[in-house]
A = this chain, B = another copy of it.
Amino acid sequence: MTRPTMQDVARVAGVSRALVSLVMNGSPKVSERRRQAVLAAAEKLGYSPHAMARSLASRTSTVLGVMVSDLHNAFFAEVVDGLEEVAAAEGFELIINTGGRSPSREKRAVTSLLAFRPAGVALLGPVVPPTTLAAAAEQAPVVLVARSSRLSTLDTVNDDGEAGSGLAVDHLVSLGHSLIAHLDGGVGSQAPQRRRGYVSAMQRHGLKPWVIPSEYTDIAGAKAVRQLLQGDELPTALVAANDFNAVGAISALEEAGLRVPQDISIVGYDNTSLAGLRHVSLTTIDQPRHEIGRLAGEALLQRVRGERTEPVKRLLHPSLVVRSTTQARSPE
């Protein structure tokens, strides 16, 4: 399965290799006759340019490497959409790699991405240590998504998790709630920001924070609620760690005979496709995923083109999506 090369095309078209190269790159200074001959020969042979040889010879790359820490997470898929949009508009293409949520595999993924000598690299939700990030940034322009870093050699684009939790609390307070608990995401990424945002919003409203340990899964959400139900007091509203956590919490509440939102209101986080299902219809916090991808792509390309060396740290504003799991606190 040895594929035709420029040499073959040149021979068939009766021209030199260089001319074939010019045609393939759409140079204007090629006679129409030759151009047609070359194109015909290429077509006949099923020739298509060898990307690696091209980039090797030209010392440039039109490839942007993307490391996705978890392909199962639809969040990243939308970020990739945004990235791809700006990449395509600027003539770049994406190659994606995955880290499988393990630091060692992820490090390998980044190395192998770098081995292609891409013009730049976007790391989506990386879990590798800062030193690995710093090392990568020495090899190519790097932008981080869903991971913050104070390194001045790379850019970051993140959702403002503190602001997001704040929105959730504000919404619930405006509905008359004051006993508002937070299901904490534990070690999940962005969980600390979300907790901080919750705590400070509660304090801002003069309310007492109530943090319940949990995780980013529906199982954990259900478990946390069941424990909560053992206690003396029940909150009237819950700010869940994320959408999955919220859904788990809801099912545990319903099992216990409580109704959402009549007895208790719940706000999720992430606005995953799950939240939008009519069966779920979860009030939640939306991250501008597509926008995050676009901004990450733009930041990366600025560095790639050498237009900027100063780091850019973007924090995007999330927004509240009101659906059916929150309502005004019923009078006692």
Question: Would you list which residues of chain A between 122 and 167 have a CB under 8 Å from chain B?
Answer: 135, 138-141
Number of interface residues of A (CB under 8 A): 54
Chain A 218-236: CB-based contact to B (< 8 A → 1; otherwise 0): 1100100000000000000
Q: Does A114 contact B (CB under 8 A)?
A: yes
Q: With A96-B98, A115-B48 as given contacts, are A1 and B135 in contact (CB-CB < 8 Å)? A: no
A111 contacts which chain B residues (CB < 8 A)? 48
A280 contacts which chain B residues (CB < 8 A)? 279
Q: How far is the CB of A39 from chain B (nearest CB, A)?
A: 16
Q: With A77-B71, A218-B279, A279-B251 as given contacts, are A49 and B98 in contact (CB-CB < 8 Å)? A: no
Contact of A52 among B1, B116, B250 (CB under 8 A): B116
Chain B, Cβ-Cβ closest to A219? B278
Interface of A is mostly: helix
| B115 and A50 within 8 A (CB) | yes
Q: How far is the CA of A51 from the CA of B56 in the complex (A)?
A: 10
Q: How far is the CA of A274 from the CA of B97 in the complex (A)?
A: 25
Q: Does A100 contact B (CB under 8 A)?
A: yes
Contact of A139 among B48, B51, B252 (CB under 8 A): B48
| A218 and B277 within 8 A (CB) | yes
Q: Does A248 contact B (CB under 8 A)?
A: yes
Q: How far is the CB of A281 from chain B (nearest CB, A)?
A: 8
A100 contacts which chain B residues (CB < 8 A)? 81, 84
Q: How far is the CA of A298 from the CA of B330 in the complex (A)?
A: 60
Q: Does A94 contact B (CB under 8 A)?
A: yes
Q: Does A93 contact B (CB under 8 A)?
A: yes
Q: With A96-B98, A218-B278 as given contacts, are A72 and B72 in contact (CB-CB < 8 Å)? A: no
Q: How far is the CA of A62 from the CA of B55 in the complex (A)?
A: 18
Q: Does A213 contact B (CB under 8 A)?
A: no
A252 contacts which chain B residues (CB < 8 A)? 278
In the complex, the 6 A-B pairs of residues with the closest C-beta atoms, listed nearest first: A52-B52, A51-B115, A251-B279, A96-B96, A71-B77, A72-B77
If A53-B56, A72-B74 are given as contacts, then 5 extra A-B residue pairs at C-beta distance below 8 Å, sorted by A number, are A46-B135, A52-B116, A219-B278, A222-B278, A247-B277
Would you list 24 pairs from A and B whose C-beta atoms are within 8 A, ordered by A residue? Answer: A3-B139, A46-B138, A50-B117, A51-B112, A51-B117, A52-B53, A71-B71, A71-B76, A71-B81, A81-B100, A84-B100, A94-B97, A94-B98, A95-B97, A95-B116, A96-B98, A218-B279, A244-B277, A247-B277, A248-B277, A248-B278, A250-B279, A251-B277, A252-B278
